[in-house]
Structure 1
């Protein structure tokens, strides 16, 4: 399997697409000014104690107070509290955590009012981004993720990923990390650390510890709502989690980000730095590689996947419902059972892809086509588990019920990605009536003339739908060439499939 990553950077949005064997499997879109990413560590202030919920609401700077439950404080919360108090009163240089004496663990069955009070400052980490009407979900079990290791301050445990199957390798990694980790720091060994040498792991561990020390040393100067340790950029975070030998190219449309990612890849995989390439084409990155077309076909209520079969995907506040339909396939009694099995197996693959693509979380109920044989229902369950193996998000899949329903739970840590594929006509604005198409050429020319003569712009980019672009460049001299000769040779035309048929944009370079 080959994997490719595409990063499209615009002034107000960052789009990241992951393709496996040329098929879109993950898509992330976020505003450039986004805050409160999973993994960010903040200095918060307790605003309200809720004894009935055994939780507190904490102000970290979001418009709604964030939620911190007692069970998310972590057993070593008293030590964290002492460390914060010492750091806030210490001189410049901070407090060395490995030299501290740990306080006893908090009671598992305790209450929030025993350890927190209104107005108290507390170190917290974003566990879930703000979703819908809810603020961020917090934890005080802090962690800093690296490529091979996850550093856990205030813990002394060493855990090894369950996906490393070899008992011998698991023991080797556990003993190795126990021998090199500092006191009062725990470590989680990630799957990619399998087979790694001590020098590489020791170097990463020291880097993570240094990051913790340098960031917490600034605490004495910080006021509540301040970001203490920021998660690395979303692109680098995805690379940290999924970078594998199957990656053969990473295309980035921004020079600065390309340089940043190239440096990061050089750190985690020095021999693979050359796979990071800056994209310099005139056509938008997602259009050039056919990603925009895949986005339009994969998002929406109805998704086709095989020989006329399709999925209906509905979203509610409480859960997601997916209905599998065989479409216009043969349904004679002789082959109905086999037909249902074939469609359901293909649907399992597409559903696993859709869950990753849309980042759907919470409870998902799938209504498969009814099958009479128990072994066929078991096959569909096994196929779904196999298809979900590549999903990094925690999930649980139950066998099909007697009604043909499958229940899936998938951890939700950020809002689901929803892309509207039905477009409102930019010309009629949904009224069903448009201005005469024959006047579009004059309207375009008038907009260019105003930009060149009225606003004195000499370098402009005209973005239009590919069909309209083909019309403007048809013949010699073409309409577009006449405009260049008349107004500005700095005028460029870029076809973009993301625009509607008669939509156009004029941008300054």
Structure 2
């Protein structure tokens, strides 16, 4: 499989695309505003403690106070898969026994602010390196569950034990597979120096304040994505290209030959046909190769995905047609969740299957494809109604939230009033206006769709109002007006004649 990282550096936006066999599978976007918070470390002050929620709110200098759950305020007791920390909460702990209002604490952001919610933070600090994650406030070693070979896991754990700083913890990352003890030592030297710097800043200064900011998007892509599995790292900015070379030289010199500078006049995302793939990633309907399609609807609480046969009519057997569509859908759904960065509760309505074996095949396909996703997913199973329930960890804003804003016409509902409804509203406003004006001629400006209702052949609204009020009404359809807007004003009869 050919894997490439394509970096598009703009004046106020950087985009990083991960391609697998020329298919867009992940897309990351970073802008100066709002600034990314995940990974940043702050010295904050506890503003309030809520025993009923087993949580506290912490002022870290952001516009909204950060949320600290009790499970994130006590030491992590056991290892959970890298980048997918879920802490075991001891029932013996209450949040008001751990924290008090006004207390100063050091926290790290683990989830971006989303919607009306502020960022989520933890006191369990993690500093990711190329091969290892340093946990200054833990004391154990974990190995990524994505490394499946028992022999490799044992070897890596033994290497980690040799370099583990006393009183600190380590997680061996997936990228460390096949690495040497020397690679681990380089990581440890860098990470311990970084923690010493942060720890020094912790001791004095105003509160709240930022102690450490994580790498920018380009450097994180080098650290977290650029490995031996990636064939090319292509970037369109000379200055950033030089910085990438310097960083790769420090953390993985053997990969330098895979870094390329893109110097063509043609837009880099257009050249690699990424823009059209982004448009597809934002569409509500996604077509499958077999001719079926998905409909993806997102709400604040959950995402619903509906599977349809569409144009696919299959062969002679209905069950085989349904199975083929559902298997293709399972593969596409896993890809779309990863690409769109959809998090939270996800409900999938596959086409009804009567054979248990077919249900299992579709479920197994979905689980297998989800293993390619670096973000933690849990497939709960199939409900009595035949719906698949699953969850995907929500860390940052979904792609649609980053690239789209609510429609000013429909307020984000995806629906607008029918033109007949607006025409009825125009009728009421005309009645009110005509009863007050002395002018014999008035104009009503509306959107062309509404205008077509008011002036259609056989329509009675305008003739009836003209007859009732003995006035002339001129309908002016115009595109220079919002869809639901109505403007009524007097008009000079001489102007009308001209």
Check if 1:197 corresponds to 2:180: yes
Match of 1:335 in 2: 317
Check if 1:29 corresponds to 2:29: yes
Alpha-carbon distance in 2 for matches of 1:227, 1:237: 19
2:97 equivalent among 114, 118, 142: 114
C-alpha displacement at 1:145, in angstroms? 0.5
Q: Secondary structure at the match of 1:184?
A: coil
Name the Cα RMSD after superposition.
Answer: 2.4
Please tell me whether the aligned partners of residues 129 and 414 of structure 1 are also in contact (alpha carbons under 8 angstroms). yes
How many residue pairs get matched? 399
C-alpha displacement at 1:278, in angstroms? 2.4
Match of 1:408 in 2: 390
Check if 1:385 corresponds to 2:360: no
Worse overlay, 134-143 or 39-48: 39-48
Please tell me whether the aligned partners of residues 381 and 390 of structure 2 are also in contact (alpha carbons under 8 angstroms). no
Post-superposition CA distance 1:318-349 (Å, at most 9, x none): 100000111022267x4110011111111111
Match of 1:65 in 2: 65
* Structure 2 counterparts to residues 126-165 of structure 1, below 5 A: 126-165=109-148
Match of 1:240 in 2: 223
Please tell me whether the aligned partners of residues 320 and 363 of structure 1 are also in contact (alpha carbons under 8 angstroms). yes
CA 76–364 in structure 1, closer or farther in 2 if over 3 Å, else same: closer
Report which structure shows greater RCO (CA 8 Å, sep ≥6): 1
Match of 2:341 in 1: 359
Post-superposition CA distance 1:10-34 (Å, at most 9, x none): 2221211111100011111231244
The structure having more radius of gyration, on CA atoms, is: 2
Alpha-carbon distance in 2 for matches of 1:125, 1:34: 18
Match of 1:310 in 2: 293
Q: What TM-score, normalized by structure 1, do the two folds share?
A: 0.74
C-alpha displacement at 1:421, in angstroms? 11
* Structure 2 counterparts to residues 87-486 of structure 1, below 5 A: 109-330=92-313, 334-418=316-400, 419-420=403-404
CA 276–326 in structure 1, closer or farther in 2 if over 3 Å, else same: same
C-alpha displacement at 1:432, in angstroms? 6.2
Q: What TM-score, normalized by structure 2, do the two folds share?
A: 0.76
Alpha-carbon distance in 2 for matches of 1:365, 1:239: 34
Worse overlay, 162-171 or 367-376: 162-171
- Structure 2 gap segments, 5+ residues each: 78-88, 409-445, 450-498
CA 108–172 in structure 1, closer or farther in 2 if over 3 Å, else same: farther
Q: Secondary structure at the match of 1:151?
A: strand
Q: Secondary structure at the match of 1:124?
A: strand
Please tell me whether the aligned partners of residues 163 and 184 of structure 2 are also in contact (alpha carbons under 8 angstroms). no
Please tell me whether the aligned partners of residues 299 and 421 of structure 1 are also in contact (alpha carbons under 8 angstroms). no
Alpha-carbon distance in 2 for matches of 1:188, 1:124: 19
C-alpha displacement at 1:109, in angstroms? 2.0
